Structure 1
């Protein structure tokens, strides 16, 4: 509602991604939601957009990202979060989770508080839907870019305090199954409203399977910072690939996973259990140089982000728009096959598919227009054009 009046926008002559295929449909947007689809030509509207046959797909969800355009999630203020939101909208991202890298209790609380401050402001970009905690209950041997001295054994009072401070909007957490006691805590973590992913881990197969049986539903940046598959010891990677329910995150920048590995994971998991993420850091959208990732110093050369101390890869400079194009190139699959990895699958994983992830009446009017080259040319977030 604007000024007490209902605002209606009609998008006509669009090739709309609906029911896993493209259909020629009109879309009526009203007060931030999709009001109706089909033939809507008789409606009296405030604005009419002729899509001219352009492909319109659901807005992309990025559930694992540490920042962009010079802003690091761990140190962001409300203005910084909004800066990320506006950049993300230009890349086709309409919803995202801010991934807080393992940090001190004080800095993690600060990041949560700044997220809450952002929620109070006026928004003109992607919708920040909540928080992903990447740690601190992680295995030191597979820490990746995690600061080892800040990793902890399971502390449910601490996690509960984070969730209370976030007013229930910590939606996702990464844990390592082999950390003593964490597997038994997974049902409790989920009772707090937090979806659980496993990663940063050298867990053996049986331990990883127990974590999955106890409710872990995601695998964090599959194939990275985890023990790999061996014919005698399938380990955590074998467990997450085998299980039909687990969603596997993938960083499709061509560096974290070889294109053949991308195809391999999709072939095993199926199109409905792969989630494309960026794992981007503050360098996304900016030139090579020196940056931060939480407490870490990071150097970016040729777009490749690595820790300044030892050269460990530290996130990426990927965007969702580029991930889409990479997936199309790496797999040779159709756009209809790839779209759910950026939309429906992450929405289902974190439990927000009732609001976003597909183009349906009643859902948020989060839409992305693609040109013939699958470049993002227009983005709508809750019915408002942001790019």
Structure 2
């Protein structure tokens, strides 16, 4: 696909800016929004995008995904990662983190090298790969989900993460840790010094230990309600800590991982500023039912539901960010102005990306144009159209 210039003039749409939809025109130059106006002029004579009848939202950011379009992150070379990014662009995603499932150090390093090449390789015709998420290896055996037991680390090692971060050139941004793995609470501030944001999850930890991790600097909880010890009135556990504190709560809103009532609970307990829409998608996203891989695991997808072939445990999802937004609105009754924070503003805030996740003058022109059914009509990354329906 031929990329358009990273300058354009978008007219006729309702634009989501500063928490409300307004009929505004957007002037984009050098990949950034330089003007929001109701004057309906185009002083720079820029290429015009007629967006009449559409809504323009900040582009979606998926910070937890293992693949799509027939490509598994743990086996993806440079072109494979770009193929995932192209599919994500068709679902309104403008930026994403590739989630490397717990694997051998050698394979993890290979995955990191592929991701580094894509991240440092600059723009292409897909969603920008913004960084790396390591899901593990410091996870609970009891709540491992699809993680290979023999590859889990049973004592946290700053040295391993430092090795990974050095190999990544600083692009490891996020990791999931189980609080009960020895050394994890002390590891969290060390990771912060490396530029790595910690989430807690895949865990059977109790309330006090989980709270220690929050106090140590953990910022999020991984796919809350899945692969974790659940609430008990005598020990609210990691689940209670996720809902009580200011942690960002990763939410898989596919209707399978969480009952719609649970999603409503998260929105009510946390407020829309702390719900984080993730897909946790696997290589089957965008493809029919069948047999697939998730890291070293064999996965069977039936009726869009991904489960381990070995024991039937749910293994990621086939969810997309666009569907996640539609589901969040359907499950909660929230308007797009509120629900879409989970797809854009909140992941940007989690990682301190001040110029992403919102539409304002000076922000990156990472935009998704949706029709009246909230289906993706166009995706723009850094002012470049990378997908049109």
Question: Which TM-score applies when normalising by structure 2?
Answer: 0.96
Secondary structure at 1:254's aligned position in 2? coil
- Corresponding residue of 1:32: 31
User: RMSD of the TM alignment (CA)?
Assistant: 1.2
Contact 1:10 1:40 in 2 (8 A): no
Corresponding residue of 2:186: 184
Task: Verify the 8 A CA contact 1:97 1:129 in the aligned structure 2.
Answer: yes
Q: What secondary structure sits across from 1:230 in the alignment?
A: coil
> Distance in 1 between the 2:226 and 2:216 partners?
23
> Per-residue CA shift, 1:242-271, capped at 9, x if unaligned?
11x210000000000000000011110111
Query: Structure 1, residues 24-63: CA drift from partner, whole Å, max 9, x if none?
Result: 1111111211122114614122301222142100000000
| TM alignment of 1:236-255, pairs within 5 A | 236-243=238-245, 245-255=246-256
Does the CA contact (< 8 Å) of 1:8 and 1:45 recur in 2?
no
Q: 1:174 aligns with which of 151, 176, 201?
A: 176
Matching residue of 1:54? 54
Kindly provide the CA deviation profile for residues 263-287 of structure 1, in whole angstroms up to 9, marking residues without a partner as x.
0111101110000100000000001
Q: After the TM superposition, which residues 16-95 of structure 1 pair with which residues of structure 2 at under 5 Å, given as runs?
A: 16-38=15-37, 39=39, 41-95=41-95
Q: Identify the residue that residue 349 of structure 2 maps to in structure 1.
A: 348
Q: Determine if the alignment matches structure 1 residue 8 to structure 2 residue 7.
A: yes
C-alpha contact 2:29 2:383 (8 A) present in aligned 1: yes
Q: Distance in 2 between matches of 1:81 and 1:101?
A: 15
1:288 and 2:297 matched: no
Change (3 A) 1:247 1:122: closer
CA contact (8 A) 1:28 1:40 kept: no
Q: Deviations over 1:316-335 (max 9, x none)?
A: 00000111111111111111
User: Which residue is 1:138 aligned to?
Assistant: 139
Q: Which moved more, 1:24-33 or 1:117-126?
A: 117-126
Aligned-residue offset at 1:15: 0.7
C-alpha deviation, 1:7, in angstroms:
5.6
Checking the alignment, whether the CA contact within 8 Å between 2:9 and 2:42 is kept in structure 1 is no
Which residue in 2 is equivalent to 1:163?
A: 165
**1:291-330 map, 5 Å:** 291-330=292-331
Q: Contact 2:6–2:383 at 8 Å: present in 1 too?
A: no
Partner-residue secondary structure (3-state), 2:229: coil
Secondary structure of the equivalent of 2:313? coil
Closer, same or farther: CA 348–7 of 1 in aligned 2, 3 Å:
closer
CA distance in 2, matches of 1:8, 1:173: 35
Q: CA deviation at 1:13?
A: 2.1
- Distance change >3 Å, CA 121–CA 367, structure 1 → 2: closer
Match of 2:220 in 1: 218
State the SS of the aligned residue for 1:142.
coil
1:373 aligns with 2:373: yes
* CA distance in structure 1 between the partners assigned to 2:301 and 2:145 by the alignment: 16
Question: Equivalents in 2 of 1:133, 1:42: separation in Å?
Answer: 44
d(CA) in 2 for partners of 1:254, 1:162: 35
Secondary structure in structure 1 of the residue aligned to 2:214:
helix
Tell whether the 8 Å contact from 2:157 to 2:183 is kept in structure 1 after alignment.
no
Runs of 4+ with >6 A deviation: none
Which deviates more from structure 2 when the two are superposed, residues 111-120 or residues 314-323?
A: 111-120
- Native 8 Å contact 1:58 1:359 kept in 2: yes
In the alignment, structure 2 segments of 5+ residues that lack a partner are: none
Q: Is the 1:273–1:345 Cα contact (8 Å) retained in structure 2?
A: yes
Could you report, residue by residue, the CA deviation over 1:68-112 in whole angstroms, capped at 9, with x for unpaired residues?
A: 011000110010011011100000011000000000000000001
Q: Counterparts of 1:186 and 1:32 in 2: how far apart (Å)? A: 35
1:358 equivalenced with 2:352 (yes/no):
no
1:102 aligns with 2:93: no
Quick check: 1:124 aligned with 2:132? no
For the Cα contact (< 8 Å) 2:132–2:172, is it kept in 1? yes
Q: How many pairs does the alignment contain?
A: 380
Matched-pair contact (CA < 8 Å) for 1:176–1:201: yes
Q: Using the alignment, how far apart are the partners of 1:276 and 1:121 within structure 2?
A: 26
Normalised by the length of structure 1, the TM-score is: 0.96
Does the Cα contact within 8 Å between 2:63 and 2:347 map onto a contact in 1? Answer: yes
**CA–CA distance in structure 1, aligned partners of residues 311 and 220 of structure 2:** 28
Shift of 1:231: 1.0
